[in-house]
Structure 1
Amino acid sequence: MVLTQLLKAGPALSVADLAPQPSMPAVPVERRTPPDVYRRAIEAHRQAATPSRVDPGIAAAVERQTAAMRELSRRAFPEPDVVADDALAPIEHAHAQRRRQATVTEAAALRRARQERAAREAGTPTIGPPAALRTTA
């Protein structure tokens, strides 16, 4: 209904006239301090309010369930035995093992490259059968 009235009003209206006007004043409103009676009533209400109504049976059941889940988790993911301070953590152990494997592979590749270069320079066929290649994941 308002829109039809605005449309009937004619082209004299601008877009600013159609935009909703803010309902809050631009100047911040200062709040007055509440009267003492109000503050005392609020304090009395807070003191008289009943504490949360937690059923003790439900709270006990939640505690039992939490304890059972922690026990299952402990059994599924046991803590490792006490490790010496200088011992490697499992991930560090895996990294060290990979580094050792890479070093061994690099040394074998260098040995073979030297043998093949020496054989080429001497004009002789490569010494021994080609080494078996390993695949990696």
Structure 2
Amino acid sequence: MPELAGRVQALGLDASSGRLDVVPDAPACGTKLRWNAPKVIAAANETVPGANVRALRVLAPAHVKAGPTAAATAPAGQSAAPALPVERRTPPDGYRRAIEAHRQAALPSRADPHIAAAVERQTAAMRELSRRAFPGPDVAPDDAPAPVEAACAKRRRQAAATEAAALHRVRVEKVGRQVEPSRSEKTA
């Protein structure tokens, strides 16, 4: 593509994947390269015999120096190293001012402060309810039984009292049955 001559630099060719890496000098050239990638791949395969280019990777724009490309001078089957380091252009002052103005104008958070405050209140209320429902264990002195042991002892006492009451009731009923036949004998 003659309109891109001198505006694109080939950085390298990965022989195993067939990917050609290129750097345009401007974003518009990069877009044109992406749109015309099949034509660029075909032209690269015609220009460099045995290159077997199957994919094109367009890197970020950088200043391109005129001269032969590294891919054209590399032997077939080897990756080409960049001949020159890629020089990145510094952004213009207007661009930097625009970015800074955008950062100052942009809200730090898109969350509504009223909603955030409501969430905090709700979280605090839920924590308070949880604290009331599940109070923390009281700290017991070292010689006192732990709260779990005290609860187990209380349950054992209740179970023993229930068992004693049941045994007493059985005895009373047994005595009552023995007393009733003797009453019936008296009436007969």
Larger Rg: 2
TM-score by length of 2: 0.29
Structure with the larger strand share = 2
Q: Larger relative contact order (C-alpha < 8 A, sep ≥ 6)?
A: 2
